Amino acid sequence: MRARDIFDVYSLRIFLESTMVVAPPADETTNGKPNVKGKPDPQDKSTKEEETETDEATTEEPANESTERQDEEAEVKDLEARAINEAAASADSTYVPSPALLSDTSPSPLLEQIDGPSLETYLSTPNIYTVGRVPLSAGSKLEVPIHISNGGSVVEYTVESERYDLTFGITAEREEKETVVKALGVADCHIKPCTGKFLVGTVPCVLLFTFDNAQSWITEKKISYNVIITPPSKENVMIGRRRRAASALKAVEDDRSSASERFKSAVTEKENLLADVDRLEKELAKQKDSLDAVKKEEILLSGRVELRLNQLKMLNDRLSNGWEDEKEKEDE
């Protein structure tokens, strides 16, 4: 496809889950055997030794656990950052200008999409959209549009509802197409907040968050949502525009090559058609001359036919009634 418009939440989640190291629960040792605090494993030979450890060593244990948790959180964040970077790289490296951009007579729109935002005034601070306890009456629907202008932006959302489940979905709308980020469906957002994260590749686009209560005829629902749009860093903007430029270079060259071949074919066809037109024009001129001659002959023959009809009438009259000068002689 052209550039990945949305590195969808499912692909990103799969990537994260397949690469993240899941930290063991607090009541498990690193070798996976149960070791609940205060209940030592009777088969563990080191238990007695652990019981004889000093209070000083015991007080150091929470600090070690805190350090381990911090290391694990840092590792998860690093894995998530790598997943997002790979998603951005995938979107940029597969970028293909849309037919509308390639058909534009000006070079500026294509370059503006490749360049992205100007770094002179660029701000990479997140944009946050938060609304709490919005009433959604029975049988109604709420659509929340959020405009995304920076390619490579990461979108995080949290949706909650009070007491009842909720039907909601997300689509990304562009000039030439629509991408379904999350299909409209029922979710138990009243039990646990519904969350997700995805990366927007192709911009500009409008993310449309849809909350639907059409299935309920009586119950009003109250919804809350929090959407965080984190634009890419300046460094990632610079890297992304170079990836898109390299990808667009091939697409533009392919289109130029195709257009060049079509141009040659068009020139050849034009020359053939011009030759046909010239031939037909000459034939038409001859036909016009023939038409003029036929018209003249038509006028001539029309007069002749009329003359002959008049002559026939006069001759028949003479043969039937005689000649006038002969009647005068008979009277004498």
> What CATH number does residue 174 fall under?
2.60.120.680
Number of domains into which the chain is organized? 1
Which has the minimum average pLDDT: 49-58, 110-119, 151-160, 179-188?
Answer: 49-58
- Which structural domain, as residue segments, surrounds residue 211? 1-267
In the three-class reduction of DSSP (H, G, I as helix; E, B as strand; rest coil), residue 282 is classed as helix
Closest CA to 163 of 135, 194, 190: 190
User: Is 236 within a domain?
Assistant: yes
User: Is 123 within a domain?
Assistant: yes
Task: List, for residues 263-311, the tens digit of each pLDDT value.
Answer: 999 999 999 999 999 999 999 999 999 999 999 999 999 999 999 999 9
User: Is 304 within a domain?
Assistant: no
Confidence of residue 83 (pLDDT cuts 50, 70, 90): confident
User: Is 280 within a domain?
Assistant: no
What pLDDT does residue 33 have?
A: 38
User: Is 124 within a domain?
Assistant: yes
pLDDT mean over 82-90: 81
Cβ atoms < 10 Å from Cβ of 137: 12
Structure token pair of residue 108: 């500026």
User: Is 306 within a domain?
Assistant: no
User: Is 328 within a domain?
Assistant: no
Closest CA to 99 of 89, 91, 109, 90: 109
Closest CA to 117 of 220, 23, 24, 238: 238
Rounded to whole angstroms, how far apart are CA atoms 18 and 91? 20
Structure token pair of residue 119: 């770094």
Q: What is the pTM of this model?
A: 0.60
User: Is 292 within a domain?
Assistant: no
